[in-house]
Amino acid sequence: MRVLSSFINGVTRLNDFLGRWFSYLILVIFALLILEVGLRYIMGAPTVWTNELSQLLFGVYAVMSGGYVMAHRGHVNVDLLYSHLSVRAQAWLDVFTSVLMFIFLFALLYFGISMAMESIQSLETSYSAWNPPIWPVKAALPIATALLTLQCLAKLLGDLAVALNLAKPEDVRLELEGDNEH
Amino acid sequence: AQADDEVIKWKVQSHWPGSSSSYKDSLERIKKVLAERTDGRLQLQLFEAGALFKAQETFNAVSRGIIQMGTISPGYAQDKLPLAGVASGLPFAFHHVWEAVYFHKNMGFEDKLRAEAAKHGVYYSTDKIYPTEMVLKKPVNSWDDFTGLKIRSSGALQKFLTDAGAAGTYLPGGELYQALSSGVVDGAHWGASQGAASMGLYEVAKYHVKPALNIAGTDVFIVSQKALDALPEGMAKIVKDSLEEQFWIRTNQYQHDEQIALAKAEREQGVKVNVLPDDVQKKLFQAAQKTWDKEAERSDAAAAAVKDLKKFLTDLGYL
Amino acid sequence: MSIEILTLLFFGSLLLFLVLGLPLTFVLGGVSVVFLYFTWGFDSFYMVASQIWGTMGSFTLVAIPLFVFMSMILERTGVANDLYRMMHLWCGGLRGGLAIGTLGICAIFAAMCGISGAAVVAMGTIALPAMLERGYDKKMALGCINTGGGWGILIPPSVMMILYSLITGVSVGQMFAAGVLPGILLMVLTSAYIIIRCYFQPHLAPALPEDERASWSEKFGALRAVALPILIVVMVLGSIIAGITTPTEAAAVGVLGALISAATYRKLNIPLLKEASIRTFKLTGMIMWILFAAHAFSAAYQSMGAQTLMEGMMASIPGGPWGIIVTMMLVLFLLGMVLDPVGIMMITLPVFLPMIKAMGFDPIWFGILFVINMEIGYMTPPFGFNLFYLKGVVPPSVTMKDIYGSVLPFVLVQLLGLAIIMMFPEIATYLPQTLF
Ligand code: NA
Ligand code: NA
């Protein structure tokens, strides 16, 4: 049990930590767009790079959120049936439905890696006027999927422990700051 | 090869939206032609832009054999095809469509592209060659008018327009109309007349600029070599021959349709043709040559192609 | 296997796993992958990864985190609360006044933003707690945000209308103009519903008690609270209309306005920015992962031959032009329950439009009917983006059952609006014909 809860806590803290840093990208995206508007409207000199850079950063921002949102149990679901079940029944149900979840994550991981490797090998660029490298953004997809998969694995192991009556739900879930607000 | 009487279905990812004239005139045409010539044994299943793969991913999907066929602009496969930059159109190189056609077909440029694509298991066949032309909210009558423009552009042309002194800026297609309407930008290019009309640009930009920014083989069919090899005896040749024939029919037809679209815009929407003054054209031609030289630095193949091009233009008396 | 049976199994599995409580993004993604495996093979999973990569590169979506960020700042600095206090003082005597005020703010949001997700999350954050605090019924408050939040695609600017124009070849400007009156109609109808319902059932949206009603000087004093929100609206709308920014960039102008507001309230500091950033990240992540999987889901359905199904269905409808139009509306409504709007567009329009044109109907009018159907699709269970975005922001005391339960009367009101526009096409066609 100790090993299990330290795995769960470790993964959750990792995603929480990374998420906090990635969340500041919104400030960068905001600054870039305002800069572009200013340069274009006031100076009459739009740049070739601000909009594209903010779009690339947004891609990283969006995809990297997966693990963080999972760590905070923020991926929404329908709780119609759920709320009528006992804690153990909920855990069993989650173990069962997680099969579908892992199938999705596996497909994403497999071809995300394949896409990223192809991109890294050719050091792919966007071929726009600015032509920045886009392989780091493509690489973000499998990295983010891996982080999300780890968090889902932590949840699965926790659910199994609860389902088999080896642990209580609160033992296999790390409560994080900000979990009960939005 | 598969049994002779079996129906073969190919998934075809287009880079044209369903409403685009090319979706009907190019894609549905080739579907019909191939069905006829194979007695219905080769069926193309068409998908609109983005339905399965977005345009930038279509070459990869065909190369991996996940779908059998697609249409792209060569610009979407620049990381795989070093010559794609030249193929997507060097600015202010050709004056007439036939010149670009001659360069492609008679001078062997398309064969070189085909060889590059073949390395990735893809058969490359140009759908048509056509011009890319700008529409503007206000006409250009002097060099100052040109350098004061903010133009929605993309890729190599955006770089060219900016280097030449205007302000090229990228906006996604979905925001183009709004941006042009409110004056975020003064002009844009989306194909030529038919493209501008399909995006509603003539509603808000009344000047159609000539000459073309470039003339190039910007629409291309790509076919998975694996899928071609799996066809029954003789059918691969039917596919290739039909695509070759398509190039000639569509390139000619497209010029006709362009003129019709422009005439209609002039008649019904009050669009005026703005021919760039001679000094503006001259300055743009000089700026363009710098862009060609930069494109030539990209690879040995590109350098050779640009060299061929310069020789051709010299022979024609343009350089 | 035929596409009819595949369709049943495909959406049946979606429904099953939704009810079993698996998060939506995994249901959409997982069902897509499983069905792709059996209809196309292992390699097709590449399409799922590729669709997500495509969604990551969509510049228009950048507006979502920016508008969410703006709302988070407005909420935490107290601007939003002051705004609702002001509305309560002014409309205090009117039952349901806050709900109608909320609809008004939704309409303004819709005029600022071409997509709908950001508005729902923003209003869920700002308006829902404000209404609940003042004794409003959960379902009334939820339903009104669910409805108003979807107007972003009907009131211009609208990314959905631009897509429709691109697919059909009608004028974007005319589509935009056509959306204005139907948008106002839906707002009037929804407000009327709230007023009538709350008149008979006052407990749903209590008026301010007599003794708490404000004097005129208090009312005018509270008006200061609207100065900053109005500043933001003017900045955002002004920059779009004056041609300073595109709608996506305008979202950044909205953030700038929110930062100015925070500074005016003397609340602009590092902890505020940190907190707003992390909350925005969590909500945007929730939205984006749903979109990632939803796009894969649509692509999977299309690859199975959804369009063939449409063609087959539409070929066998009796009942003349109006029978066909009504059937189309029904198909769109049903698809809206289970599929995302862009997917619906790609599946249905290539089949519907030639028929619409052949029957002599105005494609602009049909476009408005289409967009309203998509707006309704955002709010209908089991799969409606608005519902899930709301679920992502509501306090734990509000369950999905509450949210689903709030939908019905509001959908009926929107359907009434749809029917009115079907009967009186001028509501949609008057402005575009006058202006162009
Ligand atoms: Na809008
Ligand atoms: Na729905």
- Rounded to two decimals, the ipTM of the complex is 0.91
Task: State pLDDT tens for residues B187-239.
Answer: 999 999 999 988 889 999 999 999 999 999 999 999 999 999 999 999 999 99
**Which residue, chain included where needed, has tokens 């009367």?**
C409
Rounded distance from Cα C295 to ligand 2 centre (Å): 15
Tell me which residue in C50, C53, C171 faces B200 most closely, judged by beta carbons. C171
Tell me which residue in C54, C169, C246 faces B19 most closely, judged by beta carbons. C169
Task: State pLDDT tens for residues A125-144.
Answer: 887 778 899 999 999 999 99
**CB-based contacts of C269, cutoff 8 Å, min separation 6:** none
User: Above 70 in pLDDT, residue B3?
Assistant: no
Rounded distance from Cα A125 to ligand 2 centre (Å): 38
**CB-based contacts of A71, cutoff 8 Å, min separation 6:** A11, A12, A15, A16, A19, A151, A174, A176
Q: How far apart are CA C374 and CA C379, in angstroms?
A: 9
The C-alpha of A7 sits at a distance from chain C's nearest C-alpha, in angstroms, of 22
Mean pLDDT of chain B: 93
What pLDDT is stored for residue B194 in this prediction?
92
Chain A residues within an 8 Å CB radius of C49: 107-108, 111-112, 114-115, 141
What pLDDT is stored for residue C351 in this prediction?
84
DSSP collapsed to 3 states, B68-110:
CEEEECHHHHCCCCCCHHHHCCCCCCCCCHHHHHHHHHHCCHH
User: Above 80 in pLDDT, residue B174?
Assistant: no
User: Above 90 in pLDDT, residue C156?
Assistant: no
Q: Which residues pair with B132 in a beta bridge?
A: B214
Least confident piece of the model among B36-45, B196-205, C349-358: C349-358
Asked whether the beta carbons of C46 and C303 are under 8 A apart, the reply is no
Chain A residues within an 8 Å CB radius of C126: none
Tell me which residue in A46, A118, A128 faces B150 most closely, judged by beta carbons. A46
Asked whether the beta carbons of C97 and B212 are under 8 A apart, the reply is no
Q: How far apart are CA A84 and CA A80, in angstroms?
A: 8
User: Above 80 in pLDDT, residue A180?
Assistant: no
Q: How far apart are CA C1 and CA C208, in angstroms?
A: 61
- Tell me if chain C has a CB within 8 Å of the CB of A118: no
Chain C residues within an 8 Å CB radius of B50: 54, 346
Q: How far apart are CA B179 and CA C114, in angstroms?
A: 13
User: Above 90 in pLDDT, residue B277?
Assistant: yes
Tell me which residue in A44, A118, A127 faces B78 most closely, judged by beta carbons. A127
Q: Provide the H-helix boundaries in C201-305.
A: 216-222, 224-241, 247-264, 270-303
Q: How far apart are CA B92 and CA B90, in angstroms?
A: 7
**Which residue, chain included where needed, has tokens 């193949």?**
B301
The protein residues having their C-beta less than 5 angstroms from ligand 2 (an ion) are C 336-337, 377, 380, 384
- Tell me if chain C has a CB within 8 Å of the CB of A43: no
The more confident residue out of B285 and C95 is: B285
Chain B residues within an 8 Å CB radius of A46: 150, 167-169
Task: State pLDDT tens for residues B95-120.
Answer: 999 999 999 999 999 999 999 999 99
**Which residue, chain included where needed, has tokens 């993964």?**
A11
Task: State pLDDT tens for residues C228-250.
Answer: 888 888 888 888 888 888 878 88
User: Above 60 in pLDDT, residue B1?
Assistant: no
pLDDT band at A57 (very low <50, low <70, confident <90, very high): very high
Rounded distance from Cα C44 to ligand 1 centre (Å): 35
Mean pLDDT of chain C: 89
- Binary contact (C166, B11; C-beta < 8 A): no
Asked whether the beta carbons of A62 and C59 are under 8 A apart, the reply is no
What pLDDT is stored for residue C111 in this prediction?
83
Asked whether the beta carbons of B216 and B89 are under 8 A apart, the reply is yes
Tell me which residue in B57, B173, B204 faces C53 most closely, judged by beta carbons. B57
Mean pLDDT of chain A: 91
What pLDDT is stored for residue A89 in this prediction?
94
| Local structure of B128: helix, strand or coil | strand
Asked whether the beta carbons of C26 and A100 are under 8 A apart, the reply is yes
Least confident piece of the model among A57-66, B104-113, B186-195, C391-400: C391-400
What pLDDT is stored for residue A181 in this prediction?
53
User: Above 80 in pLDDT, residue C318?
Assistant: no
CA C395, C396, C397: angle at the middle one, nearest 5?
90
Nearest ligand to the CA atom of C148? 1
User: Above 80 in pLDDT, residue A177?
Assistant: no
Q: How far apart are CA A62 and CA A137, in angstroms?
A: 11
Instruction: Compute the average pLDDT of residues B146-161.
Output: 89
Rounded distance from Cα A56 to ligand 2 centre (Å): 30
The number of beta carbons lying within 10 Å of the beta carbon of residue B5 is 8
The C-alpha of C318 sits at a distance from chain B's nearest C-alpha, in angstroms, of 27
What is the total residue count of chain B?
319
Q: How far apart are CA C226 and CA C222, in angstroms?
A: 8
What pLDDT is stored for residue C39 in this prediction?
93
The number of beta carbons lying within 10 Å of the beta carbon of residue C405 is 14
Q: How far apart are CA C360 and CA B195, in angstroms?
A: 25
What pLDDT is stored for residue B72 in this prediction?
95
CA B307, B310, B315: angle at the middle one, nearest 5?
130
| Local structure of C98: helix, strand or coil | helix
Closest C-alpha to B301, from B108, B132, B93 = B108
Q: How far apart are CA C288 and CA C394, in angstroms?
A: 18
Hey, what's the torsion of the CAs at C168, C171, C177, C181, to 10 degrees?
A: -30
pLDDT band at C162 (very low <50, low <70, confident <90, very high): confident
**CB-based contacts of B102, cutoff 8 Å, min separation 6:** B312
Q: Provide the H-helix boundaries in chain B.
A: 21-22, 29-37, 55-63, 84-87, 97-101, 109-118, 143-147, 155-164, 173-182, 193-198, 225-229, 235-269, 278-296, 300-316
User: Above 80 in pLDDT, residue C208?
Assistant: no
- Tell me if chain C has a CB within 8 Å of the CB of A17: no
DSSP collapsed to 3 states, C341-356:
HHHHHHHHHHHHHHHH
pLDDT band at A99 (very low <50, low <70, confident <90, very high): very high
User: Above 90 in pLDDT, residue A150?
Assistant: yes
Instruction: Give φ, ψ of B187 to 5 degrees.
Output: -165, 175
What pLDDT is stored for residue B4 in this prediction?
59
The residue in chain B having the minimum alpha-carbon distance to the alpha carbon of residue A122 is B79
Asked whether the beta carbons of A97 and C22 are under 8 A apart, the reply is yes
Ranked by mean pLDDT, the top range of A94-103, C54-63, C123-132, C310-319 is A94-103
Burial per residue of B212-235, b for 16 or more beta-carbon CB atoms within 10 angstroms, e otherwise: bbbbbbbbbbbbbbebbeebbeeb
What is the Cβ-side half-sphere exposure of residue A157, based on CA atoms within 13 angstroms? 20
Instruction: Compute the average pLDDT of residues C69-95.
Output: 83
- Binary contact (B171, A51; C-beta < 8 A): yes
- Binary contact (C50, B178; C-beta < 8 A): no
Task: State pLDDT tens for residues C20-45.
Answer: 999 999 999 999 999 999 999 999 99
Please state whether the predicted TM-score (pTM) of the whole model is above 0.95.
Answer: no
| Local structure of C399: helix, strand or coil | coil
Closest C-alpha to C246, from C257, C236, C232 = C236
Least confident piece of the model among B256-260, C193-197, C336-340: C336-340
Task: State pLDDT tens for residues B50-96.
Answer: 889 988 899 999 999 999 999 999 988 888 899 998 888 899 999 99
| Local structure of C134: helix, strand or coil | coil
The residue in chain A having the minimum alpha-carbon distance to the alpha carbon of residue C29 is A104
- Cα dist from C160 to B20, C32, C119, C165, whole Å: 18, 24, 15, 9
DSSP 8-state symbol, A85: S
- Binary contact (A40, B169; C-beta < 8 A): yes
CA B33 to chain centre: 22
The C-alpha of A55 sits at a distance from chain C's nearest C-alpha, in angstroms, of 5
User: Above 60 in pLDDT, residue C77?
Assistant: yes
Least confident piece of the model among B284-293, C211-220, C362-371, C413-422: C211-220
* First and final C-alpha spacing in chain C: 49
- Binary contact (C46, B64; C-beta < 8 A): yes
- Tell me if chain B has a CB within 8 Å of the CB of C248: yes
Q: Read out DSSP for C324-389?
A: HHHHHHHHHHHHHHHS-HHHHHHHHHHHHHHHHHHTT--HHHHHHHHHHHHHHHHHSSSS-HHHHH
Q: How far apart are CA C43 and CA B60, in angstroms?
A: 12
* Positive or negative: CA dihedral C285, C287, C288, C289: positive
Nearest ligand to the CA atom of C294? 2
